[in-house]
Chains A and B, each alone.
Chain A
Amino acid sequence: MKVFDCPVIGPRPISEFDYIGEVRRPPMDADEPTWAAYVFNRQGAPGLLREWWYHRPTGRWYVMERDTLKDEVVRFIDLEEVRYDIPA
C-alpha cells in the first residue's frame, strides 16, 4: 500500500502518515490481569484490524480498518464509533 485514499483530504502518500497501532478500549474498572491484558496483548493474527494513523502534515488522527494480510484499507471509521467516556 503506497497511497491512502482518505475521504477527508483525498489520496495521500503513506509516507505522510505515522502508524500508531491497534485501537483499544481500556477496561476502566478491572483487576490487574485484565489491565495487563489490555496494556500488552494485541490481536496479532491476520485479519481486519482497527488502527490509529496520524497524518503529520495536517496533524489529524484517523481510524481505519485494514486487512493485515493484503495490506488494504477496508474502511475509514468515524471517530464517534471508537469514542468512549472517561469515568468522572
Chain B
Amino acid sequence: MPWRLLKYGLKSSHNEPRFFPEAKPLKSHYDVVIIGGGGHGMACAYYLAKEHGITNVAVLEQGYIGGGNTGRNTTIVRSNYLTPEGVKFYDTSLNLFEDLADDFDLNIFYSTRGHFTLAHTDSAMRTMRWRAEVNKHHGIESEVVDRDFIAKEVPYMDLDCAGTHPVMGALYHAPGAVARHDAVAWGYARGAYNRGVEIHQKTRVTSIRTQGDKVTGVETDRGFISCNKVVSMVAGSTPRITSMLGLETPIEIFPLQACVSEPVKPFMDTIVVSGSLHVYVSQSSRGEMVMGASVDPSVLHSTRSSFNFVEGLTDQMIDLFPFMSRMKVMRQWAGMSDITPDFAPIMGKTPIDGFYLDAGWGTWGFKATPVSGKTMAWTLANDRNHELIEPFRLSRFTDFELVGEKGAASVGH
C-alpha cells in the first residue's frame, strides 16, 4: 500500500483539495448556458473560455459531471469514417485527443491500439475498400488487410469463427485508440472551471423561455436564468429539450448496452470490431474486456440493461474468441443513444434564434468530444456554423442533403 494512502487513512480529518469546488448560487444572467455536463458540454465550455474569451458561462447538469453517455461508452476513438465530411470531422477530433493530456495536465490514459473492423462477407469487404480509399484520400492511415495480417496481429482470435462465418479480411486503422472517458470530461471541466466557467450539477432545466423566435432564458429547478444563447448537449435527453421549444427533429432514442468481463492479465492490444456479428471489444487498462453490441431494437427512454443483450453478445463473442467462454461478465449497463436516420450528428444553429443543438450522437459521440466542443464553441461565439459542422446542420433534412454515415457505424444497426 502506498505510504501516502496509509497516512491519509489514519488521519482524522480529510482535507484533500476538491477537483471541483462546491458550486455557487446561480447568477441571474449568463452569456451562454450549456445544458448537459458531459464531455461535449464541458469541452464546449472549455473552448469558449480558452479560445473565445467567453467566460460568463453556466453548464447545467441534471445529474453529475460525465454521468450520462460520457461515462457509458466503450471509449473508442477512431476516424476511419465513410463520408468525406465525417472523415474530416472525426480526424480533427482524433488529433485533438492526442494533445489533451498535455492541455489538461491530467492523464487521460490515451492509448493507441490499432483498430480492426472485420469483414466476413464479400459485400463487407467492398465497404472496407471503399472506406479505405476515402480515408487515404484524406490522409488517414487506413487500409484493407488480409487474413494473414490479422492472424499475426490478433493471434488469439479464431479467424474461422468456428466455421460459421470466416473472416475474409479487415479494415485496419492504426491510429484507433481508447481513452479514459471520465478523465476527458473531468479534464475539460477543470480547465473550464479554472477559466471562470460555472458548473452547476444537480440542476435540471425545466423549460426554455422565448420571445418571438428568440431565446431569452432558461427555467431550472433552482430558478430562472436569463441568457441569449442556449446550447443543448444532452445526447439521449435531446428530444425532451427540443420538445420544450416545439422543435421537431429526426432523433429517436434507443438504448445502447455494453458490459465488461472480470479483469484478466493484459493480452489484447488491439480493438476488434465485427459489423456482421454486431460486436466490438477491447481490453481496458484494468484488464477488463470492454464489450458492446448494436442498439436495442425498439425506442426506449431508459438505461435498463437486459439478459437478452449479454446472451446475444457473448454468443457472437465466443465465436471470435473461444477462450472467453471461461470468463465471467462482471458488469453491464446502458446509455440512451440519440439516433439519426443518416448516422451523422445534428449540430449548430436551429430555426430558433439563440438556440443551438449538439445532438444526434447515437453510438459515435465519445470520439467527437474535443471537435464538437471546439466547433460548437466557435459556432456560439460567431453565431454561424463552423465549416466542419455545416454538413451536420439540422436543415440538411429539409434540404435532402443527408450525410450517409451508416456504413461506417462500428456495428450494423
Contact = CB atoms under 8 A, between A and B. Distances in A.
Given A32-B398, A37-B248, A51 B299 contact: yes
B239 interface: yes
A44 interface: yes
B325 interface: no
- Top 9 closest pairs, chain A to chain B, by CB: A44-B239, A46-B301, A40-B250, A19-B298, A45-B239, A45-B243, A41-B248, A40-B397, A36-B398
Interface residues of B, number: 23
Contact of A46 (B240, B242, B297, B398): B240
Contacts of B248: 37, 41, 44
A36 B301 contact: no
Contacts of B297: 18-19
Given A40-B397, A42-B252, A71 B238 contact: no
28 contacts: A15-B308, A19-B297, A19-B298, A22-B252, A22-B299, A36-B397, A36-B398, A36-B400, A37-B398, A40-B250, A40-B397, A41-B248, A41-B249, A41-B250, A42-B251, A43-B239, A44-B238, A44-B239, A44-B242, A44-B243, A44-B252, A44-B253, A45-B239, A45-B243, A46-B240, A51-B299, A68-B300, A69-B302
Contact of A51 (B298, B304, B308, B397): B298
B67 interface: no
B341 interface: yes
Nearest to A15: B308
- Which of B239, B240, B242 has the most chain A CB within a 10 Å cutoff? B239
A64 to B, nearest CB: 10
A19 B300 CA distance: 12
Contacts of B238: 44
A68 B255 CA distance: 11
B351 to A, nearest CB: 11
A36 to B, nearest CB: 4
Question: Looking at chain A's contact residues, is the secondary structure mostly helix, strand, loop, or mixed?
Answer: mixed
Contacts of A68: 253, 299-301
Interface of A: 15, 18-19, 21-22, 32-33, 36-37, 39-46, 49, 51, 68-71
A33 B252 CA distance: 20
Contacts of A71: 300, 302, 304
Contacts of B251: 42, 44
A85 B240 CA distance: 33
Contacts of A46: 239-240, 253, 301
B306 to A, nearest CB: 8
B240 A45 contact: yes
Contacts of B301: 46, 68-69
Interface centre among A21, A36, A51 (most CB of B within 10 A): A36
A24 to B, nearest CB: 12
Contacts of B400: 36
Query: Max chain B CB contacts within 10 Å: which of A15, A22, A36, A40?
Result: A40
Given A18-B297, A44-B239, A45-B239, 5 more contacts: A22-B299, A40-B341, A49-B299, A68-B300, A69-B301
Nearest to A32: B398
Interface string B284-312: 00000000000001111110100010000
A33 B302 contact: no
B112 to A, nearest CB: 37
Looking at A15, A22, A32, A45, the one whose CB has the most chain B CB atoms below 10 A away is A45
Contacts of A39: 397
Nearest to B254: A19
Nearest to A39: B397
A45 to B, nearest CB: 4
Nearest to B298: A19
Nearest to B241: A45
Contacts of A32: 398
B31 to A, nearest CB: 28
A23 to B, nearest CB: 12
Contacts of B249: 41-42, 44
B399 to A, nearest CB: 8
Contacts of B240: 45-46
B119 to A, nearest CB: 26
